[in-house]
Structure formats: C-alpha cells, structure tokens
Structure 1
Amino acid sequence: MSRNDQGEYTTRITDEDILAHFSQAGRPFQTAQSVAEQFDVDRSQAYRRLQQLADEDALEKAKVGGRAVVWWISDNDEPTSKPHEVNPDDPIFDRDTFQAGEPDDTSEKIDEVLYGDGTSGAV
C-alpha cells in the first residue's frame, strides 16, 4: 500500500482483481479475511471493498453465523429475490376473519381461558 498526496493510504487492487480472485481461488465463496490475506490488506479494508462491490450488484453476501459473512459473485441474470407463490388451498385462507370492535363468537370469557373456571382451585 502506498500513500497519496494527502497522506492517505491508497491501494492498487482493482475491482477486477478482487472479482478474479473469486474465480481463481477454487472456492466460489470468500470471506473478507481470505480476501485480505490474498491482497495483503487489512480485513476492514477488504470488507469495505467487498461491500462496495455488493452495493454495485457485482457481489452478493450472506451472514452465516455470529459475525461471519461470505461473499460470492452475483448472477445478474436472475433476480436476487423470487416472489413466493400463494397456494389457494392453504388452510389459512379458510379461517374466519374479524375486525376490531366486532363481538367474538366464543362463549368463554378471557378470565376463564386464562385462569380456569374457578372450581379447579387455580390461582
């Protein structure tokens, strides 16, 4: 790493270098740590570059536990999220609907449901 005229660290690693690493490393999934080790940079710098590539839709990422995140090359031909199909035969659609303020049709009072009918000695 070198410094620019303002004294800030600069890197000579291009986005193409990082993306090429994903295809050349033999593993389609990489972590920020593995990228940092490959390019001899700090893990936080690698993470920022990977996040930038994800923001540009070149990479995708997923959290796989604790603080672990894996990255992979995005397949831009397919949408990243697919709509869920609705099954009209799902039993949830057979349930009665209600609105706030409507009387319920149960004969039990809430205290009886929560605390029993009073004859069982429930407290």
Structure 2
Amino acid sequence: MSRNRDERGQYTETVSLSEVLEVFKTVAGPVVTSSDIASATGCSSDTARRKLETLHDQGRVGRRKTAGRVVYWRLDAVDPDPVLPDDPIFTDRPSFASGEESLSEQVDEMLYGKEA
C-alpha cells in the first residue's frame, strides 16, 4: 500500500474493507489481530483497528478481548461442510410430522418392546 499525503501534508491511507477481509484468508488460524491487518496491508495499526471496528459494527466480523489483545473472526465465512436439504440422510428418514402413521407408538414399541 502506498502512503500518500493530503493537501495538509498528513498521510492518507487507503485500505478498503474488502482488503481487510482478504487478510483473513492469508493468516493461519481462525482469528486475526489489528497487527495482522497492518502487516498484510501496510497500513498503520490504528487504521487496521478502525477498519476492523467498522466491520464489527456492520456485523461482518466478531471480536473478543483475550490476554490483553482483541481478536477478530469473520462471521460471513462459508461453512466448508454445509447441510444440504436434499442429502439422503435427511430425505430417506420418516417424517415426524403428524400424519396417518403414529410414530410415537412405534417409538414406544422400540423403547419398551410392547405396544403403548
């Protein structure tokens, strides 16, 4: 990241929120710190912290203070093993909705070995 100066001579930093979110993919482990963001993007630690706080306020990352540090994790991360509603493990089983069959009686039979 290049550091440009504004018309008053102060540094301006241009790190987007999407760049901050990309760092989560490059850091080993499920959490990042503002130092991780600063190192990866070249911004200051204060800028990294502000960006992470913005993401937290937007509900895109969670945070927790631990051992004197604040760690952040993505809330919008995709589950690597999503539950698919058409998976046979769910579709090949009886429904427990009320209907013609009384499954509760079948359960009693299985549990107690007799009809209820």
TM-score norm. by structure 1 comes to: 0.53
Structure-2 separation of matches of 1:76 and 1:34: 18
Shift of 1:8: 3.8
Equivalent position of 2:13 in the other structure = 11
Q: Where does the alignment leave 5 or more consecutive residues of structure 2 unmatched?
A: 79-116
Shift of 1:29: 0.4
Cα RMSD for the two superposed structures: 2.2
TM-score norm. by structure 2 comes to: 0.56
Equivalent position of 2:109 in the other structure = none
Alignment of 1:1-80 (within 5 A): 1-65=3-67, 67-75=68-76
Higher helix share: 2
Shift of 1:76: 8.5
Residue identity in the other structure for 2:50 = R
Equivalent position of 1:88 in the other structure = none
User: 1:22 and 1:4, CA in 2 relative to 1: closer, same or farther beyond 3 A?
Assistant: same
Residue identity in the other structure for 1:74 = L
Misfit runs of 4+, over 6 Å: none
Q: Where does the alignment leave 5 or more consecutive residues of structure 1 unmatched?
A: 78-123
Residue identity in the other structure for 1:71 = Y
